[in-house]
Chains A and B, each alone.
Chain A
């Protein structure tokens, strides 16, 4: 085995490894959709962030527009402060709302960004005015049971206003909006 041929083969071997890594990163993982490019930062305060994690996606109309970059606790208001990074090409009106939603039946939680109707747009550093916390299972069950006890008429009203819950267990509830408008997507 000549020295040159060994060197060539080793070079090919290393190249193959890098190709495999690129394949894994792009085709099999979220590198293609994550990071890079021009972004701006927004903040949102939630009473309960549920199971939201850093690097969770931010989606509007189901399309990923950004990522969660940090989650902290505001020690004065005791609300969860979530920082998100949005791709600069997507601009949102000043009265947009952020909701914590769950993907699928057993899925991870993500932030759904609902655009408002304002003419002015949010700029980097702005805080989103409207937010909706994660649905917590215990509360949902509690409302359901109390709703059942009071009768079907009270059900809609009871389910409409989820109280902030002490226990941070996220509800593995399907993607049902619980806003008063009751709009089912």
Chain B
């Protein structure tokens, strides 16, 4: 009995130690950012790997979500005679919530896992240790460029998701269903606020970008240097990133949108 409690206590303490370790890791990466900004070519290469390479899935998902939202909202609004507001509802849903959140989840799945795997394998192949012994800080050379790349790529992807989603909704609403295009756009334009809706959505996207990228980098860097370790780390990246995205979304939504 006491042994079980001891184990529980030890596990809890380990857990907290892990959190503390993660915080220090985050601070280390932040500290390395200015140095790596001077090597902007590395950052550019990472934006390509993280951002450009995620374009296909983000655009495809955005379009699909736009289609589906338009269809669903249409059937929901018709009984109220408010079908003309279809564009507005889809826009708000995308720009405030679905854009940042879904992009965050997809980002964690696509870019996050590739970051974790890449860094985990570098660690397993002793590349990180080799760099350290060559007096090159791996956090500045390997981690920080990826961190900056993620922060830049994520909001751009979220914007594109929302934009494509609205276009998709337009196609379904106007071309397919027959909603008046003039009303579709004008109702949107009067009611969606650039700063409050689009701006806040952008802030969310940046925050999610930070969270997902840091989690991915941490899992990769701290993984056990074995194939199983790396595999385990990539699944953890997805799970932990997703939880962070959803949790932060709740907090940010409450902060940003609760006061009308």
Structural contact, B51 and A108, CB atoms closer than 8 A: no
Report the minimum CB–CB distance from B44 to chain A (whole Å): 5
A78 touches B (CB below 8 Å) = no
Structural contact, A10 and B51, CB atoms closer than 8 A: yes
Structural contact, B47 and A30, CB atoms closer than 8 A: no
For chain B, the count of residues having a C-beta within 8 Å of the partner chain is 34
Complex interface: stretch among B19-27, B114-122, B187-195, B242-250: B187-195
Alpha-carbon distance between A71 and B45 when the two chains are bound, in angstroms? 49
Structural contact, B160 and A29, CB atoms closer than 8 A: no
Complex interface: stretch among A31-39, A120-128, A143-151, A176-184: A31-39
From residue 151 to 176 of chain A, which have CB atoms closer than 8 A to chain B? none
For chain A, the count of residues having a C-beta within 8 Å of the partner chain is 29
Alpha-carbon distance between A29 and B191 when the two chains are bound, in angstroms? 7
Structural contact, A9 and B166, CB atoms closer than 8 A: no
A73 touches B (CB below 8 Å) = no
Q: What residues of chain B lie closer than 8 Å to A1, measured between beta carbons?
A: 48
Structural contact, B190 and A33, CB atoms closer than 8 A: yes
A21 touches B (CB below 8 Å) = yes
B209 touches A (CB below 8 Å) = no
Structural contact, B194 and A20, CB atoms closer than 8 A: no
Q: What residues of chain B lie closer than 8 Å to A9, measured between beta carbons?
A: 48, 52
Alpha-carbon distance between A24 and B185 when the two chains are bound, in angstroms? 11
Alpha-carbon distance between A20 and B55 when the two chains are bound, in angstroms? 13
For A3, A29, A31, which residue has the most chain B Cβ atoms within 10 angstroms?
Answer: A29
Structural contact, B44 and A28, CB atoms closer than 8 A: no
Alpha-carbon distance between A10 and B52 when the two chains are bound, in angstroms? 7
Alpha-carbon distance between A34 and B157 when the two chains are bound, in angstroms? 26
B197 touches A (CB below 8 Å) = yes
Structural contact, A29 and B188, CB atoms closer than 8 A: yes
| Contacts A10-B48, A14-B156, A16-B160 given; does A24 touch B166 at CB 8 Å | yes
Q: What residues of chain A lie closer than 8 Å to B193, measured between beta carbons?
A: 29-30, 34, 55
| Contacts A9-B52, A16-B156 given; does A24 touch B163 at CB 8 Å | yes
The residues of B with any CB-CB pair to A shorter than 8 Å are 41, 44-45, 47-48, 51-52, 55, 82, 91, 95, 152-153, 155-157, 159-160, 162-164, 166, 185, 188-194, 197-198, 202, 260
The residues of A with any CB-CB pair to B shorter than 8 Å are 1, 3, 6-7, 9-10, 13-14, 16-17, 20-21, 23-25, 27-34, 53, 55, 57, 64, 106, 108
